[in-house]
Amino acid sequence: MSYEFYKVVHLMCLILVVSCLGIGFFSGTPRKWARMLGMGSSLFLFIAGFGLLAKGNFSPWPLWVKIKIVIWVVLAGSGPILAKRLKSNREIAFFGLLALFSAAIILAVVKPYS
């Protein structure tokens, strides 16, 4: 599969993950289908990211890739948990997660520490 294919899958899954987190945070009750779709999209986001790394010939991983993996682990683990358990300050938690998403996007575009 081509680099462009992995890039499209990666971006589509990113949009799905953010959308499902938004549904989890701002719908009255957490929706089971949104959690399942979000976690599945998160897994495909991770797989497509590794496809991009393989096609981009990043054999020793640069620091920005390692930081993005840490961000992904934090988002995939804490996002659904915070959406389910927080009763107050949901907006602050959601915008904090959006800030992490933004940091990951900036790392992917700028590629510092290459």
Looking at the chain, list the stretches that DSSP marks H as alpha helix, in order from N- to C-terminal side: 3-26, 32-55, 63-85, 90-110
pLDDT, one tens digit per residue, over 26-52 is 887 668 888 899 999 999 999 999 999
pLDDT, one tens digit per residue, over 58-107 is 778 899 999 999 999 999 888 888 888 888 888 899 999 999 999 999 99
Confidence of residue 57 (pLDDT cuts 50, 70, 90): confident
Using CA atoms, how far apart are residues 101 and 107, in angstroms rounded to an integer?
10
pTM of the complete model: 0.85
Q: What is the pLDDT of residue 12?
A: 96
Q: Choose among 112, 52, 57, 49: nearest CA to 75.
A: 49
